[in-house]
Amino acid sequence: MNQKAFAIFVGAIMILSAFASFVLRGSDTNEVVVGTNAWSVETFGVQGRLVDWEFNNLDDALKMSPADTVMAYWINNTVSQNLTDAAKAALPQSLGLTYGSQLYSTNIDRLAETYFNNTWIEFHWIKPFPVGYSGLVVPYEDYMMIPAASDYVTVMGKPTLFGTQSAMKQVIDVISGGLATENFTLPAGENADLQIGALGKADHSPLSGGYKEFYLGVSKSKDDAVSGFNVTAKILQPDGAVSQKAKDIAGKYNLQYSTSGSDVTVNGNVPTKDLQGALTAILGP
C-alpha cells in the first residue's frame, strides 16, 4: 500500500472519529442500543452484526482468515514500545502499526494482519467507542462495512476489521461459518507478544522462500536478571540456503541453533538494542 493511500485512509478515519459524540443515524424504524459494559461491542452503536471473537494470539487471527492465507502476524502493542517499533520497521507496511495512535479515538492494543489471495486484512483490537456515520454503509451478511477511503472499509467489533471490500467479504465469509485456513501448524498452542507465521512456497507471500512453514515468537523477558526479548524461530523443511541463513543469524546474535530431522529451531535472548536488527535479519530475504 503506498503512502498516498495511507494518508487518505487516516484522514477518513479522523473524520469518522470526529463524529464519535453523535448518535448513530438510521431509519425511523431502527433503534440504537449502546451497551452498559465499556468493552461491549454494542458501544460502537453500529447496527447489524458486529465481530466478537477471541483475539489473544496468532492462532485466533488465523481462525478468522481464509483458506488461502499465506502469511500472518499478531502483536500485543501494550507490552513494549521497543517491540512495536521493531515490528514496524521489520514487517510489511501496516496501517495499524504506522498510524495506530491516529486511526481511532482509542489506541490499538492488539493488531494482526493476514495475507491471502494477493490481498490482506488488518484486525485491530480497540476499546469500543460510539461511531457516527450517515448511511454510508455497505451491508454484507448483515455486517456493516463502513467506507473509510476509496475501496477501503471497516467493520466494527472485537476485533475491528480494515481492508478492501473484496478482502473484507472473504473474511466475513469465514467468521460467518466459512472455511478458515488449516495450513498453519506451528502457531497452534503458542503465545508470544509478537507472532509471525508464513508458508514458504506459497504464491504472493511476503515471506516466501525455501521452506515449508515458518514461525517466529518474540516476548519481552520476564526475568529480572535477563532483560531484552526471548526469540524463538521454527522452520519446517528449510532448504540449504535457508538453513545456512538461520545458522548465520544465530551466530551473529548469540542464539542457539538446533535441528530435529529436517526442521530447524533458533532461539535465545536478544538485547533490546539489537531487536530491530535481529527481526530485520530473520524476516529479510
**pTM of the prediction?**
0.86
Residues 54 and 168 in one domain: yes
Residue 162 in any domain: the answer is yes
Average pLDDT over residues 258-279: 96
Q: Look at residue 23 and tell me whether its pLDDT is greater than 50.
A: no
Could you tell me if residue 180 is inside a domain? no
**Are residues 270 and 132 part of one domain?**
no
**Nine cell digits for residue 104:** 481511532
Task: Give the pLDDT confidence score for residue 124 in this predicted structure.
Answer: 97
* Domain span including residue 12: 3-24+41-175
- Among the ranges given (33-42, 92-101, 228-237, 265-274), the one the predictor scored with the smallest mean pLDDT: 33-42
Mean pLDDT calculated for residue range 221-227: 80
Q: Check whether 211 has a pLDDT greater than 50.
A: yes
Whether 227 is in a domain gets the answer yes
In a domain, 188, yes or no: no
Query: Are 159 and 204 within one domain?
Result: no
pLDDT band at 136 (very low <50, low <70, confident <90, very high): confident
Average pLDDT over residues 142-151: 86
Kindly state whether residue 29 falls inside one of the protein's structural domains: no
| 167, 210: one domain | no
Domain containing residue 231: CATH number: 3.30.70
Over its C-alpha atoms, the chain yields an Rg (Å, rounded) of 20
Using the 3D structure, point to which of 109, 143, 175 is the last residue of a domain: 175
- Count up the domains in the chain and report the number: 2
Q: Tell me: the pLDDT tens digits for 5-21?
A: 444 444 444 434 433 32
Residue 203 clears pLDDT 80, i.e. is over it: no
**207 & 250 share domain:** yes
- Residue 37: what pLDDT? 66
Confidence grade of residue 207 (pLDDT, cut at 50, 70, 90): confident
Check whether residue 45 and residue 74 sit in a common domain: yes
pLDDT of residue 31: 37
Which is higher by pLDDT, 209 or 24? Answer: 209
Same domain, yes or no: 149 and 244: no
Same domain assignment for residues 74 and 130? yes
Q: 64: Cβ–Cβ under 8 A, 6 or more apart, which residues? A: 53, 114, 123, 171, 174, 175, 180
Please, which pLDDT band fits residue 135 given cuts at 50, 70 and 90?
low
Question: Are 116 and 200 members of one domain?
Answer: no
Is 185 domain-assigned? Answer: no
Identify the pLDDT of residue 38: 67
Same domain? For 56 and 17 the reply is yes
Is the predicted pLDDT of residue 139 greater than 70, yes or no? yes
Residue 199, φ and ψ in degrees, nearest 5: -105, 125
Least confident of 157-166, 211-220, 221-230: 221-230
Which among 148, 175, 202 is the end of a domain?
175
